[in-house]
């Protein structure tokens, strides 16, 4: 599609959408939001590139194969469950670090799990969108 309005809107909205998705990810383990919703917003930002500039431009903007993102997200989520097992606790028990990180407020395995869900959702949604748009 060669729409000047959509291309211009994409250039303006893309950074805002990605920033908002990171905001949803960071605040998600204490309030509504989190990895799933943040991942959907990030995937919709990349999908907006696909609709305005084409599939190849969207793949170039993503820089990673979506299937790689799915595997990485699963690895992060699984690692957040294994860390408590190493500490002798049940699988997926929340572990919190005592040092506070200024942006995250309180870091721990739930943040790692949310990050895994975020990356997984971006990968799955973009895999579906790219597969449906290929000829």
Local confidence pLDDT in tens for the 135 residues of the chain? 678 899 999 999 999 999 999 999 888 766 777 899 999 999 999 999 999 999 999 999 999 999 999 999 999 999 999 999 998 999 888 888 777 766 656 778 888 899 999 999 999 999 999 999 987
- For residues 50 and 57, the answer to whether their CB atoms sit within 8 Å is yes
Count of CB atoms situated within 10 Å of the CB of 3:
11
Q: Please give the pLDDT value at position 29.
A: 67
Q: Using CA atoms, how far apart are residues 2 and 95, in angstroms rounded to an integer? A: 50
- Record the pTM: 0.89
Residues 6+ apart with CB under 8 A from 15: none
By CB atoms closer than 10 A (0-12, 13-18, 19+), residue 78 is: middle
Contacts of 90 (CB under 8 A, 6+ apart): 84
Encoded tokens for 129 = 């969108």
């Amino acid at each position: 599609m060669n729409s000047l309005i959509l291309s211009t809107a994409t250039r303006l909205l893309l950074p805002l959408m990605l920033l908002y998705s990171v905001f949803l990810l960071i605040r998600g383990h204490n309030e509504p939001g989190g990895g799933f919703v943040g991942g959907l917003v990030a995937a919709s930002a990349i999908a907006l590139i696909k609709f305005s500039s084409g599939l190849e431009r969207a793949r170039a903007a993503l820089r990673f194969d979506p299937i790689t993102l799915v595997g990485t997200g699963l690895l992060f989520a699984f690692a957040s469950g294994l860390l408590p097992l190493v500490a002798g606790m049940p699988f997926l028990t929340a572990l919190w670090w005592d040092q506070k990180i200024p942006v995250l407020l309180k870091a721990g395995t739930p943040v790692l799990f949310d990050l895994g869900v975020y990356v997984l959702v971006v990968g799955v949604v973009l895999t579906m969108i790219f597969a449906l748009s290929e000829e």
